[in-house]
Amino acid sequence: MPQVTTVHTQASDDGTHEHVELVGYYAVHLPPDESITIPIERLIHKTWLGERFWITLPDGTEADVIEGKCPDCGLDPYFRTSADTGDEQKLLSLPRY
């Protein structure tokens, strides 16, 4: 069960907000300071096959990475977390690379 630890973003088509383009995740077979980086398209395939991705929230709890729509432009598919509310996007609060 991979923990998403970093994201890489790109500007939306209209330039008013950002979309996650790549995710970096930690896997138990890697040293703690290394991560695997995959594009969103690969994340879509992995989640469709039932693989669970999650982030750690500031309070130490986990929130699943889930497919949804961008709250700003409606881009679909778009990844959010199960803890997001309204326009909040916890994936965008992760460290960038």
Angstrom distance (rounded) from CA 31 to CA 17: 33
What is the structure's pLDDT at 25?
A: 92
What is the structure's pLDDT at 27?
A: 81
Map tokens 């965008």 to a residue: 92
What is the structure's pLDDT at 86?
A: 82
The b-or-e profile of 13-28 (16+ CB within 10 A means b, else e) is eeeebbbbebbbbbee
What is the structure's pLDDT at 32?
A: 79
Angstrom distance (rounded) from CA 83 to CA 87: 11
Amino acid letter, 10: Q
In the chain, which residues have pLDDT < 70? 1
Q: What is the DSSP letter of 46?
A: H
Q: Which residue range is the domain that position 7 belongs to?
A: 3-93
pTM, rounded to two decimals: 0.87
Q: What is the number of domains present in the chain?
A: 1
What is the structure's pLDDT at 35?
A: 86
Q: What is the DSSP letter of 95?
A: P
What is the structure's pLDDT at 6?
A: 93
